[in-house]
Amino acid sequence: MIAPMLKYAFLVYHADYNRFIEQLHRVGLVHIETVNTQLSAQAEKMMRQLHKVHETLALLSKKNTTQSENVPFLGGEQLLQQFEALVQREAELKKHKKELQTQITALEPWGNVPADVIELLQNRRVFFHFFACAQNDYHPIWSKNHKIAVINRLNGKIYFVLISEQEMPPMLQGAELQHLPATNIETLNQKLAEVTAGIEEITAGFNALATHCNLLQQYAIDLENELARENALQNTRPREKGKLMLLQAWVPQKNRTELLELLNHSETVWVEQKPNANDRVPVLLENNRFAALFHPVVNLFSLPSYTEIDLTPFFAPFFMLFFGMCLGDVAYGLLIFAAVTLLKHKKQYRQMRPLLTLAQFLGASAIAFGLLTGTVAGIDLAKSNMQFLAGVKGYFINVNSLFNVSLIIGLVQIVFGMALRAANNWLQKGVQFAISPIGWILGIGGGLLYVFTPYTLPAYLLLGAALFCIIAFSDPNAGIVKRIGLGLWDLYGITGLFGDVLSYVRLFALGLSSATLGFVVNTIALSALSLPPVLGELFFLVILLLGHGLNFGISALSSFVHPIRLTFVEFYKNAGFTGGGVEYQPFRFKNSNNNTQ
């Protein structure tokens, strides 16, 4: 459900305003209404700095922490500056290292060229021209016409030097003039070693900084608190030439007593109001422990608007069921359940426990549906020769039944969504706006009676009532003629209804494909056992692990994505979901433990 909200307007004397803001910040209850969407220059600066801090923390988390005794940091800001200096220096050294490696690669075929001697001879009009060519392109006549010394033959190429009194090198068809660095390879190797040592020192510097991530984390928290305070000031409206400050905010109705306790002890004029139709009220979802696990799924699409029904508790059981139908394998479900259970007991995943608990429920659903279909790691238990299963094989859901179950569940969820739309319209707009969705439910019921039962008269009565409800109440605010026109147009939506129901066939298809791929992997792995001993067992294990690993990854991803699609498209559409809600974000002071006070 959506938590009821109250709207407050605070009027504070300008000299007391900073203290009032600080009190609100410490209490952490109010959601400040945005009246100025443009960020101040100070807020933009803090956001850029905060982005740098988060990037730095992400990079330092990958480093090996080493204890350092000489790290005279005064705080997170200084640490950030030192990190940026190290990054810049590392980039310079890596660029220099790449240049040195290129020069060394160019000199390697020539050996240790005495650059100083060559320079001395060139001052005396003796010039050395370095060439390289393919062995087939080398012409012996070059040696007759010029003073040439072959230096090296390497990888099908000939490296030679031509000594001349001319500064301009001669043209040798097929040979490429080489421009060698003005130093020898020994000097370059020494410089390369120095640069490599410098990079290693910088890496050690990064590792030393990584031990002080707590300073950066505190700095990030301080920046977030300052940014929140700056945004609060930005959304404050001065009154009476700046002598009074007006701030509007929202507070959950359950926290009204706490806020009033603060206001009654301050010199603040305040007004309390209930939301009206034009207010953009922040949304705070409050559901039971099971439904609350699906809040991250809700946030993938959009929060509901404040005035509509929260669909989270209504789609949560369906989502869990859909995941189990799509994965539908006992072994895969056990793998998910065991893995996330292990992670839940590790301290570093403490903040992810709600998501891990959700994964436990999804894994349990896959286990349950795998038991119903008799599928374990691609093995179809209904076709196995295990004697202890003889009494239960007839109870496993077969392929044909799974197809029908998918369609039935899809139709149930769609009808349930239409009932929610009727209830939502009744609450928001009035009973007349709930009649059209009810008409669709009656129409579906009448159609099912007509097709699957001999009771044609009740079916005709339901269909007639459905046509009347849909056509006459398509838009209660419109005139009679417009209502009829819109109602007839709404009837075209029956084609979409068929499409929505058929869309649930994906539950059957994904479950079948996962089981089939698992069966294929098992068949290929078993065929490897016909190979010679040891080799056969080795290939058996490799194929089994790799094949099921790939199948598990693809199937698990599909089992999450497609239920999301069915929820956000078919169910949300038929439930009349509006969305566009603004998340309730309390103006709350964060402490050093990354929690809020």
The SS3 assignment for 82 reads helix
Position of tokens 């000097």? 187
Look at residue 597 in the predicted model and tell me its pLDDT: 47
- Per-position b or e across 243-261, b if 16+ CB within 10 A of its CB: eebbbbbbbbeebeeebee
Farthest CA pair distance, the chain: 118
Using CB atoms within 10 Å of the CB of residue 290, give its burial: 0 to 12 exposed, 13 to 18 middle, 19+ buried: middle
Please give the Cα distance from 328 to 323 (Å, whole number): 8
Position of tokens 């850029």? 48
Q: What single DSSP character describes residue 455? A: -
Look at residue 65 in the predicted model and tell me its pLDDT: 66
- Name residue 32's amino acid: I
- Per-position b or e across 500-535, b if 16+ CB within 10 A of its CB: bbebbebbbebbbbbbebbbebbeebeebeeeeeee
Q: What distances in angstroms separate CA 590 from CA 188, 219, 222, 248, 538, one per listed residue?
A: 53, 11, 8, 22, 54
Print pLDDT tens along the chain (597 aa): 899 999 999 898 888 888 888 888 888 888 988 887 777 788 888 888 888 888 888 888 877 766 555 555 567 788 888 888 988 999 999 999 999 998 888 888 888 777 778 888 888 888 999 999 998 889 988 888 899 899 889 888 999 999 998 888 888 888 898 888 777 888 888 999 999 999 998 888 888 888 888 888 888 888 888 888 888 888 888 888 888 889 899 999 998 888 888 888 887 888 888 988 888 899 999 999 999 999 999 998 899 988 889 999 999 999 999 999 999 889 999 999 999 999 988 877 888 888 999 999 999 999 999 888 888 888 877 777 776 666 677 778 887 888 889 999 999 999 999 999 999 888 888 888 888 888 888 888 898 888 888 888 888 898 889 888 888 888 777 777 787 788 788 787 788 888 888 999 998 888 888 888 988 998 998 888 888 888 888 988 999 999 999 999 999 999 999 999 999 999 999 888 888 888 898 888 777 654 444
SS3 for 378-426, per residue? CEEHHHCCCHHHCCCHHHCCCHHHHHHHHHHHHHHHHHHHHHHHHHHHH
Rg for the chain, CA atoms, rounded: 37
Look at residue 296 in the predicted model and tell me its pLDDT: 92
Please give the Cα distance from 40 to 235 (Å, whole number): 10
Position of tokens 């706490």? 258
Reported as a single tens digit per residue, the pLDDT across 502-515 is 999 998 888 888 88
37 CB neighbour count, 10 Å cutoff: 7
Structure tokens given for 297: 């799924």
Please give the Cα distance from 567 to 569 (Å, whole number): 6
Q: What single DSSP character describes residue 568? A: I
SS3 for 283-338, per residue? ECECCCHHHHCCHHHHHHHCCCCCCCCCCHHHHHHHHHHHHHHHHCCHHHHHHHHH
Look at residue 119 in the predicted model and tell me its pLDDT: 80
Please give the Cα distance from 459 to 457 (Å, whole number): 5
Reported as a single tens digit per residue, the pLDDT across 95-107 is 999 999 988 888 8
> What does 20-66 look like in DSSP terms, one character per residue?
HHHHHHHH---EEPPS--SPPHHHHHHHHHHHHHHHHHHHHTTSPP-
Position of tokens 């910040």? 25
- Name residue 400's amino acid: N
Structure tokens given for 73: 């940091």
What φ, ψ does residue 151 adopt, rounded to 5°? -90, -40
**147-154 and 176-178 beta bridge pairing:** unpaired
pTM greater than 0.85 (yes/no): no
Please give the Cα distance from 300 to 323 (Å, whole number): 17
Please give the Cα distance from 104 to 226 (Å, whole number): 52
